[in-house]
Amino acid sequence: MTITAFIFPGQGGQFVGQGREWAKNDPGSARLFQLADQASGRPIGRLSLEGPLEELSRTENLQPAVLAVGLAAARQLRLRGVEPAFAAGHSLGEYGALALAGVISEEKAFALVARRSELMARAAEGAGGSMSAILGLAPEMVEAVCELARHEGQVVAANFNSPQQTVISGEARAVAAAVRFAGLKGGKAVPLPVTGAFHSPLMAHASEAFARILDETEFARPLFPVSPNASGHPTDDPDELRDLLKRQMTSPVLWTRTIEGLAAAGAESFVECWPKAYLGPLIRKTLGPAHKAQVSAAS
């Protein structure tokens, strides 16, 4: 039997119509969009299915929408008989992984994500933050150019997505300076369509407020190991899962370590809980051509 890891994406891969067929044909999936609507008090289901994309992409709308679509994708996989032995999620996607593993209920996951998105959107307002993916440079070099750019403000390596893709985050002027230095080293920068400097010190106030909410949230032992962003190592310890989630808003997403750790733990198949391949290329680049793991999307 193939040992499978379910992988939940975060923000960035959204599109109008995401999950439409699942919501239309499966009452269980439609219920997930209803939970998103109820938890957020906003028309998340309508925005996911009908747009407009600009409104869907607002942090407070997008995060509940991505959670709904990710859980709907996982539901479709399980209806087909595919069962996970591990789960992980990229940034926001960690909440889908935790709900799938039974650490928190789906209702609680939507309530937490609704509050998380509000706090992050508020922190982003007026902070002048931005994010850019740096392609073609080793992570160590990206960290070095961030260090060179800090005379312009705060900027950090925020997402270690693959050996050749690292996302930087921080104050816009500092991110722009780091992008210039990366260009001089042969790197290519791609600005990300986000509204704030996520996974950076600019999220500290939101992180502190959300940590208090997590302290009041019961975490159950997972049905199977979950690999948190802040460590990249699979665990079934609920206290560790909570503590690492409390760090997530300001700590980097150790995605390369996460995928390598799942492979080392025995994962043979990585199935992305999303209608289209989004994280799959990053997983393949991280594992390398010599690794024979299967990588696919829910569709």
> Which residues have a catalytic role annotated?
91, 199
User: What single letter denotes the amino acid at residue 243?
Assistant: D
> Per-residue b/e over 68-79, b at no fewer than 16 CB within 10 Å?
bbbbbbbbbbee
- Cα–Cα dist 47/156, whole Å: 32
* DSSP3 helix / strand / coil % (the chain, rounded to 5): 50, 15, 35
Q: Distance between CA atoms of 193 and 156, rounded to whole angstroms?
A: 18
> How far is it, in rounded angstroms, from Cα 272 to Cα 20?
17
Please give the Cα distance from 230 to 246 (Å, whole number): 9
**Structure tokens, 210:** 């959300």
Report angle CA 117, 123, 125 to the nearest 5 degrees.
105
The CA–CA distances, whole Å, from 249 to 36, 96, 151, 273, 277 equal 21, 16, 23, 22, 25
Burial class of residue 95 (count of CB atoms within 10 Å of its CB; 0-12, 13-18, 19+): buried
Q: For residues 43 and 22, what is the distance between their CA atoms, to the nearest angstrom? A: 17
